[in-house]
């Protein structure tokens, strides 16, 4: 049992990919994924520190694991990810049964750290600057067909609310050739979609080869066998015309962009130290929309940042109405330890919640309209798995889900089994604010195929 592990992940795509790297590194050392918690010899909690809620979740999960450790003292419990980095040895004080604490940049050492933790309590929260050179090829890609590729670690920005520069350190960028080699090997293994990852992904640069992120996108998009390329998360300050042009010109680059704005008020953007104004942001949207036809766009908002007035919130609402995002993630501001905004006076919770609700209500109508533009279209979907929710597909048919090139979730019926990881065309018949629904293109719609097949069935 000690040779089995379980990784539980909260948070962003970088964390999800960190979990894939952990799995790959442990597999190489002869460990294997546990079928269930009860079978796991090592449990790794791969945490997120961006908002306080995520921390609360960690300690409630640790409360459960404490009971398990009482029954099985040889169980190794590890706290990894951004809370590991942020809280360090304090985790041992609050949860003395934890055996190992490590930060995101210590993942390359995970197998050795686990071995050491079997003998004595262990911690590695060094911000290893060379971490970008290790362990990427070992990653166990867990999504069929889609491979995440880290282009940089860390973040050099100083947004006043954000813990990430503390937990993930200064930026280290991977080398262009190493990245292209990794993508080629992934293509050889049958991956068709690449997601380039970084906290500030579009600031990536390979100084030695004078390449920028637009060059990297074009290089990856041209690797044989790669059909779709996306990237996250872009910072508005680094979103250049060159990147937009690459998106418009390279067929493999998906027409989808996540460009976090955080607020529509210039006063709040200044207080957040984002480095751009609402006008700059909207200009950039117009620029990229002009270069990428039918672009889908999403963003992040932080609602009720300290000092945000009703007028500031109105400016955010106006920006959302003007930009017409396909969807957004919105968060109530959460003070993070050691950040410049931590000491600022917060907005009363009821006011914050009311502002959040109004923003979501505004978006509901916009989202419905943005989704409706796909009705009747044919979407290319990467099959991710079978959809077992809601009503059943017609007899003999299967229901699948996946994402299209616009990062929309598509749920569709197919007349035969499909392997996860392959691309299929789907005729969109119905849209909802959160999903597209349809039938595999070329297959007769379920109703028609049923009526055609009935006489045959009856004759048997
Ligand atoms: N690097 C990306 C960027 O600058 O847009 C985002 C990284 S951050 C992990 C993801 C999102 O979490 C941010 O875009 C922001 O909306 C949100 N976030 C970060 N710190 C937060 C805080 N203290 N309170 C609430 N939301 C926060
Ligand atoms: Fe945090 Fe700002 Fe860096 Fe994004 S750019 S990770 S919000 S500091």
- Reduced 3-state DSSP string for the chain: CCCEEEEEECCCHHHHHHHHHHHHHHHHCCCEECCCHHHCCEEEEEECCCCHHHHHHHHHHHHHHHHHHHHCCCCEEEEEHHHHHHHCCHHHHHCCCCCEEECHHHHHHHHHHHHHHHHCCEEECCCCHHHHHCCCCCCCCCCCCEEEEECEECCCCCCCCCCHHHHHCCCEECCHHHHHHHHHHHHHCCCCEEEEECCCHHHCEEHHHCEEHHHHHHHHHCCCCCCEEEEECCCHHHCCHHHHHHHHHCCCECCEEECCCECCCHHHHHHHCCCCCHHHHHHHHHHHHHHCCCCEEEEEEEECCCCCCHHHHHHHHHHHHHHCCCEEEEEECCCCCCCHHHHCCCCCHHHHHHHHHHHHHHHHHHHHHHHHCCCCCEEEEEEEEECCCCCCCCCCCEEEEEECCCCCEEEEEECCCCCCCCEEEEEEEEECCCCEEEEECCCCCHHHHHHHHHHHHHHC
Residue nearest to atom 12 of ligand 1 (CA): 50
Whether the Cβ atoms of residue 266 and residue 277 lie closer than 8 Å to each other: yes
Ligand 2 centroid distance, CA of 281 (Å):
16
pLDDT score at 444: 66
Would the CB of 235 count as within 6 Å of ligand 2?
yes
Residue nearest to atom 4 of ligand 2 (CA): 199
Write out residues with Cβ below 6 Å of ligand 1.
12, 50-51, 161-162, 164, 199-200, 233, 235, 260, 262, 300, 302, 331, 333-334, 336
pLDDT score at 2: 61
Residue 445 corresponds to which tokens in the numbers above?
């719609």
Q: What is the pLDDT of residues 332-380, one digit of tens each?
A: 999 999 999 999 999 999 999 999 999 999 999 999 999 999 999 999 9
Residue 46 corresponds to which tokens in the numbers above?
């791969």
pLDDT score at 447: 56
Would the CB of 155 count as within 6 Å of ligand 2?
yes
Confidence of residue 306 (pLDDT cuts 50, 70, 90): very high
pLDDT score at 243: 98
pLDDT score at 341: 97
Which single residue is written with the structure tokens 């109405």? 321
pLDDT score at 1: 47
**Mean pLDDT (whole number) for 278-292:** 98
Q: What is the pLDDT of residues 5-53, one digit of tens each?
A: 999 999 999 999 999 999 999 999 999 999 888 899 999 999 999 999 8
pLDDT score at 130: 81
Confidence of residue 458 (pLDDT cuts 50, 70, 90): very low
For residue 260, give the ligand 1 atom closest to its CA.
Answer: 5
Whether the Cβ atoms of residue 278 and residue 308 lie closer than 8 Å to each other: no
Would the CB of 159 count as within 6 Å of ligand 2?
yes
Bridge pairing between strands 193-197 and 172-173: unpaired
Best substitution site from 169, 300, 346 to test ligand 1's pocket, by max atoms within 8 Å of Cβ?
300
Higher pLDDT, 54 or 125: 125
Q: What percent of the chain has pLDDT over 90?
A: 87
pLDDT score at 254: 98
Among the listed ranges 23-37, 122-136, 323-337, 412-426, which one has the minimum average pLDDT value? 122-136
**Mean pLDDT (whole number) for 235-246:** 98
Would the CB of 24 count as within 6 Å of ligand 2?
no
pLDDT at 452 over 50: no
pLDDT at 263 over 80: yes
pLDDT score at 445: 57
Partner residues linked to 401 by β-bridges: 385, 411
- Reduced 3-state DSSP string for 257-297: EECCCECCCHHHHHHHCCCCCHHHHHHHHHHHHHHCCCCEE
Ligand 2 centroid distance, CA of 194 (Å):
23
pLDDT at 451 over 90: no
Confidence of residue 442 (pLDDT cuts 50, 70, 90): confident
**Distances, alpha carbon 177 to alpha carbons 135, 219, 233, 445, 458, in Å:** 16, 10, 22, 46, 62
Nearest ligand atom owner, CA of 302: 1
pLDDT score at 460: 25
Ligand 1 centroid distance, CA of 13 (Å):
13
Residue 411 corresponds to which tokens in the numbers above?
């749920």
- Residue 6: what are its φ and ψ, rounded to 5°? -140, 130
Whether the Cβ atoms of residue 192 and residue 226 lie closer than 8 Å to each other: yes
CA distance 52 to 234: 24
As a whole number, the mean pLDDT across the chain is 93
Among the listed ranges 123-127, 128-132, 288-292, which one has the minimum average pLDDT value? 128-132
Bridge pairing between strands 423-431 and 436-440: antiparallel
pLDDT score at 207: 72
- Reduced 3-state DSSP string for 193-222: EEEEECCCHHHCEEHHHCEEHHHHHHHHHC
**Mean pLDDT (whole number) for 281-287:** 98
Q: What is the pLDDT of residues 150-171, one digit of tens each?
A: 999 999 999 999 999 999 999 9
Residue nearest to atom 5 of ligand 2 (CA): 157
Exposed / middle / buried, residue 329 (Cβ in 10 Å: 0-12, 13-18, 19+): exposed
Residue nearest to atom 4 of ligand 1 (CA): 235
pLDDT score at 450: 46
Residue 109 corresponds to which tokens in the numbers above?
């050492």
Please give the model's pTM, rounded to 2 decimal places: 0.93
Best substitution site from 83, 260, 303, 306 to test ligand 1's pocket, by max atoms within 8 Å of Cβ?
260
pLDDT at 264 over 50: yes
Partner residues linked to 218 by β-bridges: none
């Amino acid at each position: 049992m000690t040779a089995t592990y379980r990784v539980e992940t909260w948070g962003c795509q970088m964390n999800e990919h960190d979990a894939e790297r952990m799995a790959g590194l442990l597999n190489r050392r002869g460990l294997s994924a546990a079928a269930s918690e009860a079978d796991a010899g090592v449990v790794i909690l791969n945490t997120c520190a961006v908002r306080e809620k995520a921390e609360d979740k960690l300690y409630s999960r640790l409360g459960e694991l404490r009971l398990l450790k009482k029954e099985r003292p040889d169980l190794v419990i590890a706290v990894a990810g951004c809370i590991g980095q942020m809280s360090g040895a304090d985790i041992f004080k609050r949860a003395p049964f934890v055996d190992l604490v490590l930060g995101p940049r210590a993942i390359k050492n995970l197998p050795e750290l686990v071995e050491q933790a079997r003998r004595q309590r262990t911690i590695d929260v060094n911000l290893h600057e060379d971490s970008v050179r290790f362990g990427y090829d070992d990653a166990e890609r867990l999504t069929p067909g889609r491979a995440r590729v880290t282009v940089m670690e860390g973040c050099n920005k100083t947004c006043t609310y954000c813990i990430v520069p503390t937990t993930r350190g200064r930026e280290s960028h991977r080398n262009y050739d190493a990245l292209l080699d990794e993508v080629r090997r992934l293509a050889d293994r049958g991956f068709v979609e690449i997601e380039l990852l970084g906290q500030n992904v579009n600031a990536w640069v390979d100084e030695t080869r004078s390449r920028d992120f637009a060059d990297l996108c074009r290089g990856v998009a041209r690797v044989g066998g790669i059909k779709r390329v996306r990237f996250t998360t872009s910072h508005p300050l680094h979103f250049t015309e060159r990147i937009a042009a690459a998106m418009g010109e390279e067929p493999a680059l998906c027409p989808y962009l996540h460009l976090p704005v955080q607020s529509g008020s210039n006063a709040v953007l200044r207080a957040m130290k984002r480095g751009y104004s609402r006008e700059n942001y909207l200009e950039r949207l117009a620029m990229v929309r002009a270069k990428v036809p039918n672009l889908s766009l999403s963003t992040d908002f932080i609602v009720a940042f300290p000092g945000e007035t009703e007028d500031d919130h109105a400016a955010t609402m106006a920006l959302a109405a003007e930009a017409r995002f396909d969807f957004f993630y919105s968060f109530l501001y959460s003070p993070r330890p050691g950040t410049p905004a931590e000491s600022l006076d917060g907005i009363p919770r009821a006011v914050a919640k009311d502002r959040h609700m109004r923003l979501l209500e505004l978006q509901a109508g916009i989202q419905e309209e943005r989704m409706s533009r796909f009705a009747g279209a044919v979407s290319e979907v990467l099959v991710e798995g079978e959809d077992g929710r809601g009503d059943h597909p017609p007899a003999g048919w299967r229901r699948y889900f996946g994402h299209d090139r616009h990062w929309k979730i598509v749920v569709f019926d197919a007349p035969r089994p499909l392997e996860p990881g392959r691309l299929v065309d789907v005729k969109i018949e119905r849209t909802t604010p959160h999903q597209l629904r349809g039938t595999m293109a070329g297959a007769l719609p379920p109703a028609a195929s049923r009526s055609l097949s009935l006489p045959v069935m009856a004759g048997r």
